[in-house]
Amino acid sequence: MDRRPGCISAVGGSGAGAAVNFAARAPGSGTNWVNLTGRFAHDREVSMPPTPAHRYDRGLMWFRRDLRATDNAALYHALKSCDRVWCVFVFDTDILSPLPRADRRVEFILASLLDLDEQLHHMGEQAHHTGIRLLVRHGRAVDEVARLAHRLGVQAVFANHDDEPDALARDARVLGALAHHGTMFHTFKDHVIFERQEVLTQQGRPFSVFTPYKQAWLRTLTDFHLKAYPTRRYAASLAAPPDGVEPAMPTLQHLGFEPTNLSTLRVLPGSEGAATLLEDFLQRIDRYDHARDYPAVKGPSYLSVHLRFGTVSIRLLARTAWALHCQGHKGASTWLSELIWRDFYHQILANHPHVVTRSFKPAYDAIKWVHGKQADALFAAWCEGRTGYPLVDAAMAQLNQTGYMHNRLRMVVASFLCKHLGLDWRRGERYFAEKLNDFDLAANNGGWQWASSSGCDAQPYFRIFNPVSQSERFDAEGRFIRRYVPALAGLTHTAIHAPWAARPLELASAGIELGTHYPIPVVDHATARQETLSRYAIVKQAG
């Protein structure tokens, strides 16, 4: 039977997503969350139970970047194949150690774990199982998972795929440690609609250009890929921790971190937070295709941090976008494309892991970036929003103050770093990795390699964003700049984009002395442009 989701019959709000590894692909039933029209619905069961490939007495579900109890592939398979299932999250010291001591992401995860604990507890109660708790551990994942698996006497550990190279290396170590005690380790696709080599060219190779990838992605899509995993149906397998195994939910202090300003921002954690954002976004998704480009406008969904930590299911979002796209909603079609970009970069990382350290296109590694003291000073000015270009500085202030940056601005500041300041894109990539709440290696690397022209399907090297015309076009009234660079608030709509070009009288009446209240530009656009074209000439020579 062809289960391709045609736009005539809208995809239903129920079912199971694709699973790989040992388990058979498993159609199932629904979500109790937002349905296709954005209203809340209740679980709708459909009777297509898959045949379990394995049966275990005890299993352990290991949550990582999938912090939700509904529509979770690994949790579904764990509950379905085991009589008793415990759930754990590990605060991995290998990941936590290098982070700054005040990190919004750690706080977001902690708050989302409290929500997940609640969800599991509630799911258990609905199945008449009391005392269900999420177990939380703090240490090296390989030690903690193996120790807990042994202590609970489980025969299998279940988790969802994470294709970042460090995560794959960690999982290989966990697999080894578990195998030592004869424990199985099963992993599943959950984080994307299509992963690894599921969408290939006719020659059987991974795509490196987005548009044909998107077309193939849409051709490959069936109802099945958008269905939710009905975890609730198997909730009776959830087991309360035995005596002597403490839930051990830590505090931020216990983890060695300090509070951030997260609670003052509109970053609501957990699945509840994601549901609130999605509901809000669905009211304005129709305007997404044009509103998304203006940083002062509430245009995008702001769901990236939830996609990053899995507090929302990608299947729910893609299903919602798909259904609206089929009804002819242009905004939803554009948003669906963005979700496909996300899959695109994930398969690039999985198939070309060299991008983590090198350019996707090897010729670009020959570019000579600026180094030394002058480069360090320029980099510091960029990080701290002191370049003298108002839109760039406002964008960096948004990042530093909130951990979020609007997509248009990510493109502008990334281009500015490599094509105006002549700095290696990897420096900017690392700064984003440290600061972004939604930092995701695949999307961040893809975005930076796109901006520096070194990536697959990147913008041509000779295309250099002009930060002033970008500002005039996308923040015409300077509303965004005024919010994040208050020193410039007194300037007119026309002068705010390039204060150095303003008349002295205009600057004086706005109370601004350049070099005192706001920096003189660190580079001249025309000169920087010429230097960049010369710097990138080596790429042209390489053909």
Task: Tell the smallest beta-carbon distance from residue 295 to ligand FAD (Å).
Answer: 10
448: annotated active-site residue: yes
Task: Tell the smallest beta-carbon distance from residue 440 to ligand FAD (Å).
Answer: 4
Contacting residue, 444, 454, 470, 471, with ligand FAD by CB under 6 A: 444
Contacting residue, 407, 459, 466, 494, with ligand FAD by CB under 6 A: 407
Contacting residue, 5, 241, 300, 499, with ligand FAD by CB under 6 A: 300
Per-residue x/- track, 260-299, ligand FAD (CB under 6 A) = --------------------------------x-------
**Residue partners of 125: CB distance under 8 A and separation at least 6:** 132
**Choice among 335, 341, 382, 450 that is catalytic:** 341
Number of shown-chain residues binding ligand FAD (CB under 6 A): 28
Q: Based on the shown chain and the rule CB under 6 A, indicate whether residue 141 belongs to the binding site for ligand FAD.
A: no
**Choice among 407, 466, 472, 506 that is catalytic:** 407
Closer CB to ligand FAD, 228 or 414, in the complex: 414
Closer CB to ligand FAD, 444 or 470, in the complex: 444
Measured in degrees and rounded to the nearest 5, phi and psi for residue 132 equal: -75, 130
Q: Which of residues 313-372 bind ligand FAD (CB under 6 A)?
A: 338-339, 341-342, 345
Q: Based on the shown chain and the rule CB under 6 A, indicate whether residue 443 belongs to the binding site for ligand FAD.
A: yes
Contacting residue, 29, 112, 271, 304, with ligand FAD by CB under 6 A: 304
What torsion, rounded to 10 degrees, do the Cα atoms 167, 150, 235, 56 define? 100
Measured in degrees and rounded to the nearest 5, phi and psi for residue 186 equal: -115, 130
Give residue 153's identity as a one-letter amino acid code: G
- On whether the CB atoms of residues 34 and 60 are closer than 8 A, the answer is no
Task: Tell the smallest beta-carbon distance from residue 335 to ligand FAD (Å).
Answer: 6
- On whether the CB atoms of residues 16 and 228 are closer than 8 A, the answer is yes
The angle subtended at Cα 101 by Cα 168 and Cα 448, nearest 5°, is: 50
**Residue partners of 408: CB distance under 8 A and separation at least 6:** 292, 293, 294, 295, 470, 474
In sequence order, which ranges of 82-235 are alpha helices (DSSP H)? Answer: 93-96, 104-126, 141-152, 165-180, 210-220
Q: Which of 332, 343, 321 is nearest to 289 (CA)?
A: 332
Task: Tell the smallest beta-carbon distance from residue 35 to ligand FAD (Å).
Answer: 19
d(CA 385, CA 64): 33
**Choice among 118, 272, 279, 338 that is catalytic:** 338
Give residue 273's identity as a one-letter amino acid code: G
Give residue 244's identity as a one-letter amino acid code: G
Residues in the site for ligand FAD, rule: CB under 6 A? 292, 300-304, 307-308, 338-339, 341-342, 345, 407, 410-411, 414, 432, 436, 438-440, 443-444, 446-448, 451
The residues annotated as belonging to the active site are 338, 341, 369, 407, 425, 448
